[in-house]
Amino acid sequence: MQTGLLRLFAPCAILVSMTVGCDSKSEQPTTVPVQGKVTYNGQPVPKGTVTFQSDDGHTATGKIQSDGSYRLSTFAENDGAIAGHHKVMIIANDADPTLMPGSSPGYKPPKDLVPAKFNKLETSGLEAVVSKEKPTVDFDLK
């Protein structure tokens, strides 16, 4: 009888032992909440995305709201970015995401709301240092 119980519970014990310590959250770097505002020539940028890329390659993104504000997310919504130095890019245009080029009547190429140089990490010239002491990172683009 004990042999039968052992055979029944042995696979469960093996599965439990294999999953202990495999929590993916424990392997993730700690994030710091980051928020801010994006303006262009002193006016709020009404939509788009802000992307932070850390020196070790972690990416945090935030959707720009109509008032120009954003909050970053890396692993979960609004969890922020990992601490340290980041290159930053901002993509903002008036594209209608419901229209596709070539297949949607009324489609027109999107107009950039900020200069195109800000669309790439290599050309934006934007940088930020994320820390608990400075949770707000604003960008006043010109």
Is residue 4 assigned to a domain?
A: no
pLDDT of residue 108: 86
Separation of alpha carbons 73 and 29, rounded Å: 13
The pLDDT assigned to 97 comes to 81
- Residue 16, in any domain of the structure: no
How many structural domains does the chain have?
Answer: 1
Q: Provide the residue range defining the domain that includes 33.
A: 29-141
Question: Which pLDDT value is given to residue 120?
Answer: 97
Buried b (16+ CB within 10 A) or exposed e, 50-74: bbbbbeeebebbbebbeebbbbbbb
**pLDDT tens digits, one per residue of 73-122:** 999 999 999 999 999 999 999 988 888 888 888 788 899 999 999 999 99
Domain presence at residue 100:
yes
Taking only the tens place, the pLDDT of each residue in 5-53 is 344 444 444 444 444 444 445 588 999 999 999 999 999 999 999 999 9
| 9 located within any domain | no
| 13 is a domain residue | no
pTM of the model: 0.78
51: domain CATH number is: 2.60.40.10
Residue 41 maps to a domain: yes
